[in-house]
Amino acid sequence: MKAVKIKKVLQTGATNTSCSVQGWVRTFRANRFVALNDGSTLDNLQCVVDFEALDESLLKQITTGAALHLEGNLVESQGSGQNVELQVEKITLLGASDPEKYPIQPKKHSLEFLREKAHLRVRTATFSSVMRVRSALAFAVHEFFQEEGFFYVNTPIITGSDAEGAGEMFHVSTLDPKNPPLTETGDLDYKSDFFGKETNLTVSGQLEAEAYALGLGDVYTFGPTFRAENSNTTRHLAEFWMIEPEMAFYDLNDNMNLAEKFITSVLKKVLTRCEKDLQFLDDRFNQEEKSKPQLQRSPMGLLEKIKFVVDNDFKRVSYTEAYEILRNSKPNKKKKFQFPITEWGVDLQSEHERFLVEKHFNCPVILFDYPANIKAFYMRRNDDEKTVRAMDILFPGIGEIVGGSQREERLEVLEKRIEEMKIDKEELWWYLDLRRFGSVPHSGFGLGFERLVQFTTGMNNIRDVIPFPRTPQNASF
Ligand code: 4AD
Ligand code: MG
C-alpha cells in the first residue's frame, strides 16, 4: 500500500480504514507505542503495535532512529494527546538504527552538540521546524516578487569583480598550489589559470543584476553568496543566501517602500502557513528567554515580535539623526559603548544598531543617507557631497538584515568615485557601459536570507538556520 504523509493523515482524522505511513521512530514506549515522524509536520503519529504478535527480533529493532513502513487501521485515539492513532497490522523495517550509537536521543540536546551532528539534527523537532519555516520563507520570497511583476535572474557565482569592494573573497583557481606558475615579477600567473584571469566566488550578484534591471526593469536574484570575512559571530556565515532585487527607475524612497512591503509580506505569509511550527518555536523561544537574566530577556515573545513587525511601520531615520541620538545617549555618555560615538562619519557597530532598534525606537529602523566613506563605491552621491543614498534595515535581535542603495547612474561621478577608492576600473568596464548607454536612476537592496530565518524562528545562532553552515575553520559535511 502506498504510504501517506503523516501531515495528511493527521488532517484527515480517524477514518477506520486502512492506511500506511513511513518515517523514523522518535520514541518507542512500553513495547507498544511508536511515535513516528516523517518530516511532513511537527507532529508524530502515534502507532500502536501488538507486541505479542511480533517476533522478538523485529521488536528489538524498533528503536529511536529506525525507519519503518507501517500499515494498519486509522482509528480514534484511546489516549490523550492526539486525536488519531494507527492500529498497526504490518511492520516493515526499512532501516535499522543501532540505539547505542544513534546520537539523537529522545531528550534535550544542546544546539552546540547538534551542530556537530548536522547530518542528523533535522530529525529533531526544533531543526525540522526551522527548516520547514525556511522553506516556506523561500517560497514566499519568490511569490512576492513574481506577484509584483519581477523577473528572477541567476547571476554568476564565479566572478572577476569584487562587488562590495571589501576584498573578502574566496579565490577560484585550478592552478597547482604546490607548483604555481609565476610571472617574471614573482606573482601568480593567472593567465595560465582556468579562466585566464583572477576569479573568486561572488560576494553579491548586484552588479550583474543592475545590468539586467536596465533591460528587464524589475529583477531579483536569490542565490548563494560567499564572504571570507573572519567574523566568528552569531550573525555571520562564510556561505549565505542573499535576495537581491534591483529596479530601474526607482529612487531611494521607492527602494525603502519596496523593502518594507517585501519583508512584511513574507512574514505575513509564513504566519498563516507555518502556524504549528511557529507556535512550537515560540514556546521554545520563551523557554530560552526564561533561562536568561531578567535584563537580557526579550520584551516580546517570538510570535509577538513577528506580528509587531508586520503591523507597525518601520522607523526611517537618517544617519545624521541617528548619530545625534547615539552621541547624546546614556550609554555613550556613560562610556558604556565599546566604540564610543565621537565624530560624525564613524561606522555604526552592532552595539549602536541594537541600541537604536531595541532601546531607542523599539521597532525596525531604516537608516539612510550614510557617510560616503563607509559605504561601497556604487552608491549615489547626495548633493551635500558627504553622504550617499544608502539604506540599511535594522531588526530587533538581529541588527542589519538589509543593505541597499540608490545606484550612482552618472558616469563621471561614478568614475571619480572608483578612482578615489582605488578600485580596478578595467574590471568594471561593462558596469561603466551601463552608464554610457541609456543610464537611468535605479536602486536595489540585499536581504540576508539566514538573518530573516533567524528573526522568524527566534534561533539565536545563524549556524542553526542553514542546513550545513560554513564558518571559519568549519566546512564539515
Ligand atoms: O550589506 P551587504 O554587504 O550588501 C550587499 O551585498 C549589496 N550588494 C546588496 C544590494 O544592494 N544588492 O549585504 C546584504 C545583506 C546584509 O544586510 C546581511 O543581511 C547579509 O546580506 N549578510 C550576511 N549574512 C550572513 N553572513 C554574512 N557574512 C553576511 N554578510 C552580509
Ligand atoms: Mg551592509
Per-residue pLDDT of 285-301, as tens digits, reads: 999 999 999 888 888 99
Kind plus residue range of the DSSP H or E element containing 88: strand 84-95
Q: How far is CA 358 from CA 67, 142, 244, 282, 390, in A?
A: 45, 30, 26, 19, 22
Ion ligand 2: residues, Cβ under 5 Å: 403
CA–CA dist 372, 387 (Å, integer): 5
Query: So what's the pLDDT on residue 283?
Result: 97
Residue type for 292, please? K
What SS3 string covers 292-322? CCHHHCCCCCHHHHHHHHHHCCCEEEEHHHH
Ligand nearest the Cα atom of residue 405 = 1
Asked which of 202-211, 273-282, 294-303 is least confident by mean pLDDT, the reply is 294-303
33 neighbors 46 (Cβ within 8 angstroms): yes
Phi, psi of 90 (to 5 degrees): -140, 130
Query: So what's the pLDDT on residue 406?
Result: 98
Q: Measure 249 CA to ligand 2 centroid, in angstroms.
A: 22
Q: What is the pLDDT of residues 340-399, one digit of tens each?
A: 999 999 999 989 999 999 999 999 999 999 999 999 999 999 999 999 999 999 999 899
Residue 97: other Cβ atoms inside 10 A = 18
pLDDT for residue 167 is more than 80 = no
CA–CA dist 134, 395 (Å, integer): 18
**Where does the pLDDT of residue 280 fall: very low under 50, low under 70, confident under 90, or very high at 90 and above?**
very high
Mean pLDDT of the region 146-173? 91
Q: Whose CA is nearest to atom 25 of ligand 1?
A: 236
Task: Using the atom order of ligand 1, give the atom closest to the CA of residue 446.
Answer: 9
pLDDT for residue 181 is more than 80 = yes
Query: So what's the pLDDT on residue 81?
Result: 79
pTM for the structure as a whole: 0.97
Task: Dig out the grid coordinates for 221 from the structure.
Answer: 536574484
Task: Dig out the grid coordinates for 357 from the structure.
Answer: 532598534
**Where does the pLDDT of residue 306 fall: very low under 50, low under 70, confident under 90, or very high at 90 and above?**
very high
**Ligand 1 binding residues, C-beta < 6 A:** 163-164, 204, 206, 227, 229, 236-237, 240, 242, 244, 400-404, 444-446, 448, 450-451
Q: Measure 235 CA to ligand 2 centroid, in angstroms.
A: 12
From 242, 350, 393, the mutation candidate for ligand 1 (largest count of ligand atoms within 8 A of CB) is 242
What domains are there in the chain, each with its CATH number? 6-102 (2.40.50.140), 123-168+203-464 (3.30.930.10)
Q: What is the pLDDT of residues 60-87, one digit of tens each?
A: 999 999 999 999 999 999 877 788 999 9
Q: Whose CA is nearest to atom 18 of ligand 1?
A: 448
Mean pLDDT of the region 205-218? 98
DSSP state of 424: -
Per the prediction, the chain carries an average pLDDT of 95
Query: So what's the pLDDT on residue 444?
Result: 98
From 145, 240, 401, 461, the mutation candidate for ligand 1 (largest count of ligand atoms within 8 A of CB) is 240
DSSP state of 370: E
Query: So what's the pLDDT on residue 166?
Result: 74
CA–CA dist 26, 66 (Å, integer): 8
CA–CA dist 139, 149 (Å, integer): 16
Query: So what's the pLDDT on residue 135?
Result: 98
